């Protein structure tokens, strides 16, 4: 019985740790409506607009890149106007949606 309880505890804890960011993919989808014009409806990207493919990216990577563009650490004058008004939670929600593409 003790080993079953331990196993259940490990499973519950690991599932909590694997959830990543607290996120709302539905809100992220609404935010992504602005991104479609360059990155495409399915995150396929657009070489002519120099917009990279987003589908297949990990949530942590999207959060890192958008946060760095917003803060100016990563220079991207085309993206800056779109991300400057996003909150940290907006960025997490956006990433939650992008990983579904």
Task: Please indicate, yes or no, if residue 15 is contained in any of the structural domains.
Answer: no
Is residue 10 domain-resident? no
Residue 75 in domain? yes
CATH code: domain of residue 31: 1.10.760.10
Assess if residue 63 is contained within a domain: yes
Q: How many domains does the chain have?
A: 1
Q: Is 59 contained in some domain?
A: yes
Kindly calculate the radius of gyration of the chain based on its CA atoms and give it in whole angstroms. Answer: 17
Residues 23-67 pLDDT 10s: 999 999 999 999 999 999 999 999 999 999 999 999 999 999 999
| Structural domain that includes position 46 | 23-98
Domain assignment present for residue 94? The answer is: yes
Q: How far is CA 81 from CA 24, 55, 90, 98, in A?
A: 23, 22, 15, 19
Establish if 57 belongs to a structural domain.
Answer: yes
0.85 cut: is pTM over it? no
Residue 22 confidence class, pLDDT cut points 50, 70, 90? confident
């Amino acid at each position: 019985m003790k080993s079953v309880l331990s196993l259940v505890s490990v499973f519950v804890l690991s599932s909590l740790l694997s959830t990543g960011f607290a996120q709302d993919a539905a809100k992220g989808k609404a935010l992504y409506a602005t991104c479609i014009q360059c990155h495409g409806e399915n995150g396929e990207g657009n070489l002519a607009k120099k917009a990279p493919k987003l589908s297949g990216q990990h949530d942590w990577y999207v959060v890192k890149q958008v946060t760095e563009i917003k803060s100016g650490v990563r220079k991207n004058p085309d993206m800056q106007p779109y991300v400057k008004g996003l909150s940290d939670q907006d960025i997490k929600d956006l990433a939650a949606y992008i990983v579904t593409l």
